[in-house]
Amino acid sequence: MLDDTNIRTAEISAQIARIAIVIMATAAYTGFVAAKLPPVTEDAKARAAEVAAKSAWTDKVGLFQLCRAMDRTAEAYRKEFQAAGKEPPQPTATPPCIDPGPFVTPVTPVASKPLEASGAHSPPGAAISPPSTNATAAEIAGKR
């Protein structure tokens, strides 16, 4: 009887040790998971907004195509009834199918800013104003 108690005590101790190892491993992993992520950039926000808009547009296109398919199926059903010489049932009034049109991105591109005061090495973009200064490169550098 004493041996059974010792065996049970050893089993319980082993279970407690396994639970403690699992808890410590979980705590260590939680530290990695809870690490602070960098803030979301404006470019990433713009891309996410564009993806969301594209997804919504795709859903609208799918609904439009489904609506047209249902209309074609109902029309074929009515024609089949008429060809058999029967009177087709009265159609149920439904709203018309609305075409979503082509996808137009709602995100406006970021205006390109000149890299230098004169804009000499600026990225290509629409020239909406003259360079910010008329000084030459030698004058800017302080050499005469």
| Higher pLDDT pick, 121 / 69 | 69
**Looking at residues 115-143, what average pLDDT do you find?**
63
Each residue's pLDDT tens digit, 1-46: 556 777 788 888 889 989 989 888 888 777 777 777 788 898 889 8
Q: Where are the domains of the chain?
A: 1-36, 41-103
User: Which letter, b or e, does each residue of 51-76 get, where b requires 16 or more Cβ atoms within 10 Å of its Cβ?
Assistant: eeeeeebeeeeeeeeebeeeeeeeee
pLDDT at 50: 92
Question: Is 103 in contact with 54 (CB distance < 8 Å)?
Answer: yes
pTM of the model: 0.50
pLDDT at 112: 55
**Looking at residues 51-77, what average pLDDT do you find?**
95
